[in-house]
């Protein structure tokens, strides 16, 4: 990584002189769209020129965008990595060009942590654990669960599964009876849930659905209703993100719980880069954002508080 001294030597005197390239995954979910929107707002607040490249869910597009940012000589690169592996070569090019990289909302698998300056993410294993523990308490440790996983190979899909599996492992009568990826989208969440319902006696064998994000759960709720069952009571729901539509479903009695993921990853990332460029302050390797469980009692108020941001 660029040393603190070379960071100072490369530094822009004011935040408003900084140009940052952000390789964003795409717009697979309501949460993702909000993250993009909040990133622009946070950059504007600080007078930073944030160039956002939409990769349409493809790693190859993210790699191209990073190479283009390097060629443009940006001051820093933000990367929301669609999958965890396959970044070493392109991040080594950024390192060679002395451009600091900040990971946003997802992590990467690499033997060389010097390839990025810091990662601004939640504890995604913990999110899965909170979800599993809530469900264990709600069902007194007895539940046949279907799981909608996020994008295959992405850090939140891997970790949210791990945390949930660990939480339910101590309950002999809690089992995941079906699990499949819904790619973090509403459409695929609905499609996969339809196949789970068909395979499980029209849904009568299913006690709960765990979705790695709210968008897949919104799709699953639709599928459950179309199958003639009541989401939120016939089949319990627990998901992650805390987007307005899940609060609406919770207020309507069609969803039971969500774990919040803040869409403001850019704010702490921008502050870290400004400090690094100003005087070489090296941020902690992990800037952790908060994860919090929300239940129906506050759903109407939370919906009102968030609806304009998304
Ligand atoms: O990486 C964060 C995850 O990506 C969000 O939970 C999901 O909605 C998004 O697609």
Q: What is the pLDDT of residues 45-101, one digit of tens each?
A: 999 999 999 999 999 999 999 999 999 999 999 999 999 999 999 999 999 999 999
Please tell me the predicted confidence (pLDDT) of residue 9: 40
Q: What is the ipTM of this complex?
A: 0.99
Please tell me the predicted confidence (pLDDT) of residue 6: 41
Distance CA 106, CA 150 (A): 12
Model pTM? 0.94
12 C-alpha to center of ligand 1: Å? 32
Distance CA 254, CA 73 (A): 49
Helix (H) or strand (E) holding 180: strand 173-181
CB atoms within 10 A of CB 94: 23
- Our mutation pick for probing the ligand 1 site, out of 124, 150, 163, counting the most ligand atoms within 8 A of Cβ, is 150
Token reading at 64: 């191209």
pLDDT digits (tens, 9 = 90+) for 28-41: 999 999 999 999 99
Which residue's C-alpha comes closest to atom 4 of ligand 1? Answer: 32
Average pLDDT over residues 128-138: 98
pLDDT digits (tens, 9 = 90+) for 263-274: 999 999 999 999
- Chain length of the chain: 310
Please tell me the predicted confidence (pLDDT) of residue 270: 98
pLDDT digits (tens, 9 = 90+) for 198-223: 999 999 999 999 999 999 999 999 99
- Our mutation pick for probing the ligand 1 site, out of 82, 219, 261, 262, counting the most ligand atoms within 8 A of Cβ, is 261
Q: Which of 302, 169, 179, 166 is nearest to 241 (CA)?
A: 302
What 195-204 contacts at long range (C-beta under 8 Å, 24+ apart), as own/partner pairs, is 196/146, 197/223, 197/224, 197/227, 197/229, 200/144, 200/146, 202/227, 202/228, 202/229, 203/227, 203/229, 203/234, 203/235
Pocket of ligand 1 (CB under 6 A): 28-29, 31-32, 105-106, 156, 184, 213, 215, 240-241, 261
CB 265 within 8 A of CB 31: no
- Our mutation pick for probing the ligand 1 site, out of 78, 105, 260, counting the most ligand atoms within 8 A of Cβ, is 105
Token reading at 58: 């493809």
Please tell me the predicted confidence (pLDDT) of residue 3: 39
Which residue's C-alpha comes closest to atom 3 of ligand 1? Answer: 156
Please tell me the predicted confidence (pLDDT) of residue 15: 72
């Amino acid at each position: 990584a660029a040393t603190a001294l070379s960071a100072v030597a490369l530094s822009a005197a004011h935040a408003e002189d900084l140009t940052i390239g952000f390789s964003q995954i795409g717009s697979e979910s309501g949460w993702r769209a909000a993250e993009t929107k909040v990133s622009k707002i946070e950059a504007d607040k600080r007078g930073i020129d944030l160039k956002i490249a939409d990769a349409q869910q493809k790693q190859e597009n993210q790699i191209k965008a990073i190479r283009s940012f390097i060629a443009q000589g940006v001051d820093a690169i933000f990367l929301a990595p669609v999958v965890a592996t396959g970044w070493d070569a392109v991040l080594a090019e950024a390192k060679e060009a002395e451009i600091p990289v900040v990971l946003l909302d997802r992590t990467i698998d690499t033997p060389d942590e010097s390839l990025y300056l810091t990662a601004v993410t939640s504890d995604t294993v913990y999110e899965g654990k909170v979800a599993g523990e809530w469900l264990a308490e709600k069902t007194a440790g007895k539940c046949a669960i279907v799981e909608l996983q996020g994008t295959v190979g992405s850090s939140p899909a891997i970790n949210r599964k791990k945390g949930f599996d660990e939480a339910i492992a101590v309950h002999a009568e809690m089992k995941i009876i079906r699990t499949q990826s819904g790619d973090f989208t509403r459409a695929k969440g609905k499609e996969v849930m339809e196949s789970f319902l068909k395979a499980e006696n029209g849904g009568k064998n299913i006690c709960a659905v765990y979705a790695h994000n709210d968008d897949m759960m919104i799709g699953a709720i639709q599928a459950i209703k179309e199958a003639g069952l009541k989401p939120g009571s016939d089949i319990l729901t627990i998901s992650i993100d805390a987007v307005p539509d899940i609060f609406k479903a919770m207020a309507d009695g069609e969803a039971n719980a969500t774990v919040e993921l803040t869409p403001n990853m850019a704010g702490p990332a921008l502050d870290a880069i400004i400090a690094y460029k100003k005087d070489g302050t090296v941020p902690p390797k992990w800037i952790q954002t908060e994860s919090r469980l929300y239940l129906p009692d506050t759903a109407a108020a939370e919906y009102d508080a968030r609806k304009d941001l998304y």
